Amino acid sequence: MSSASTVSPASDSPAARQAFRAPRFLRIAAWVSFVLNATIIATGGAVRLTGSGLGCPTWPLCTAGSLVPTEELSYHSLIEFGNRTISGPLLVFALLVVILSWRIRAIRRDLLTLSIVVLALVLVQALVGGVIVWLHLNANLVSFHYIVSLVLVCLTAAYIARMYEAAGPRERAVPKPFAILTHITTFVMAILVVVGVLTTGAGPHSGDADIQRHGLDASILAHVHAWPGYISFALVAVLFGWAITRDLRPRRWTGALLGLLIVQIAVGVYQSRSGLPRWPSACTWCSLRSPRRP
């Protein structure tokens, strides 16, 4: 949030903005990379909520003798394998963005640096994902895996934001106090994410019915998790009001973030008061037990 919304080209004239335009193929590849990183989080959530974390009990193969799910396995294998399948295209597009960024490195070294970091983290994610299967969904590794995925979404979003900016020296696009408050908000939201991951790790949806969690009290963590959530909402509300009254550049994205926080708070309150149900709660087929692997 902070880097993309608080800096702009040193010259904000139309001529300066037209001085750099990312190649069309690079723009497409960057957007696909972002969408894939967001999608793999969603499919990972489906794996957890349906108890399909060990649907494919080995890695990199699904079973000891097959790369893909076999007839002897249950629908859990299809869900887990679907999540794994996204890793291939995700790696391909991360590498493609690096190659295309290398071609424009003379004028946009910042894009090359971001793309290399993204590729490195994608490779780390693939390795960690395999270790998680080998260690039967170790709660701490699963938490780390999720946090890295969120970082990847942030980095690919930052890449896209920078990609549409002009090249050259940059200067702050907002008042310094606004920028400082933005960084504080980012820090609080990082705490929110970390505590949220711990809360999820202590909850009932572990990804497999036989997996032992890290032993923390989910009910206590849920209350602890709420505080940085409400603080984040208050800070973003201040930023949004500030951006609107001063007509600052980040006003639209700050407003979008505020709206998403409202949705998140509503969902969190519902989950807390409903005993952390699977979503959607009417997903009755998820509870139908087909034969599982040995």
Question: What are the pLDDT tens digits along the chain (294 aa)?
Answer: 444 444 555 444 444 444 578 899 999 999 999 999 999 988 887 777 776 667 777 777 777 777 777 665 666 777 777 778 888 899 999 999 999 999 999 889 999 999 999 999 999 998 888 888 787 777 778 888 889 999 999 999 999 999 988 877 777 889 999 999 999 999 999 999 888 888 776 666 555 555 555 566 667 777 788 899 999 999 999 999 999 999 999 999 999 999 999 998 888 787 777 766 655 433 333 333 333 333
| Paired residues of 66 in beta bridges | 63
CA distance 163 to 129: 30
pTM of this structure:
0.77
The confidence score (pLDDT) of residue 130 equals: 82
Angle at which helix 218-246 crosses helix 251-273, to 10 degrees, equals 160
Query: What sign does the dihedral 230-232-238-244 (CA atoms) show?
Result: negative
b (16+ CB within 10 A) / e for 101-123: beebeeebebbbebbebbbebbe
The confidence score (pLDDT) of residue 209 equals: 52
The confidence score (pLDDT) of residue 134 equals: 81
Structure-token pair, residue 227: 């505080």
The confidence score (pLDDT) of residue 212 equals: 55
Q: Which residues contact 256 (CB under 8 A, 6 or more apart)?
A: none
